[in-house]
Chain A
Amino acid sequence: QTVVTQEPSLTVSPGGTVTLTCALSTGAVTSGHLPNWFQQQPGQAPRTLIYNTNNKHSWTPARFSGSLLGGKAALTLSGVQPEDEAEYYCLLLYGGSWVFGGGTKLTVL
């Protein structure tokens, strides 16, 4: 069974920088896996931040960026704000279907 792994939790100080990663159990993540990143606040629907590795939506704050890093998909937040405290999920296309990572709980402290 294909597993997509994210850090379960990360903590960052306000104004700091943090990178969340998304790894595939079968090998390196590439642009062909069409990585997407979503932010979910408690009790809300997910919100799409990044699509196709590094593309932002009009509503995505400039401090969020997506990339490939060391065989993983990555989401970097630069200049973290208190409102960035949330759960973050990656989504990869694999074997003709989509698979979510387990999510990263980001704490801003």
Chain B
Amino acid sequence: QVQLVQSGAELKKPGASVKVSCKTSGYTFTDYYIHWVRQASGQGLEYMGMISPKTGDTNYAQKFQGRVTVTRDTSISTAYMDVSSLTSDDTAVYFCARELRGGHFDHWGQGTLVTVSS
């Protein structure tokens, strides 16, 4: 069965970086895009960016360009999201989600809580 399993919770200090992983299984990794979405406590979903595992091409929401980097390792079917220069506003649950080309979203990861605090 299709699974997207994310790495565990992180506690970071302001100004640091965090890297969250999304390990996939149950399908051909390169056939689907991986997207990243975050949700602050009590707030809505916020789109961050995506990667094509096949080509490595990325696309970011304007708000996150320059501060968020999405990568992948096809040898272990895993996508990563790196957020730099963290502030308390980055405290949120981060999700990965899968999309078949053409807007066909389906499976989601379980979420990773990132807490930024001094």
- Residues of chain A having any CB pair with chain B under 8 Å: 34-36, 38, 40, 45-48, 51-52, 55, 57, 87, 89, 91, 93, 96-103
- Residues of chain B having any CB pair with chain A under 8 Å: 35, 37, 44-47, 50, 59-62, 95, 97, 102-111
Residue of A nearest to B107 (CB): A48
The prevalent SS among residues of B at the interface is strand
Tell me if B103 and A47 are in contact (CB < 8 A).
no
User: In the complex where A46-B45, A102-B44, A103-B44 touch, is A97 in contact with B106 (Cβ < 8 A)?
Assistant: no
A68 to B104 Cα, complex, angstroms:
17
Residues of A within 8 A of B59 (CB): 96-97
Tell me if B110 and A91 are in contact (CB < 8 A).
no
Residue of B nearest to A100 (CB): B45
Contact of A97 among B47, B95, B111 (CB under 8 A): B47
A12 to B92 Cα, complex, angstroms:
30
A101 to B46 Cα, complex, angstroms:
9
Residues of A within 8 A of B109 (CB): 45
User: In the complex where A45-B95, A46-B108, A48-B108 touch, is A34 in contact with B44 (Cβ < 8 A)?
Assistant: no
Contact of B105 among A45, A51, A97, A103 (CB under 8 A): A51
A103 to B40 Cα, complex, angstroms:
13
Residues of A within 8 A of B102 (CB): 34, 52
Contact of B106 among A40, A57, A103 (CB under 8 A): A57
Tell me if B103 and A34 are in contact (CB < 8 A).
yes
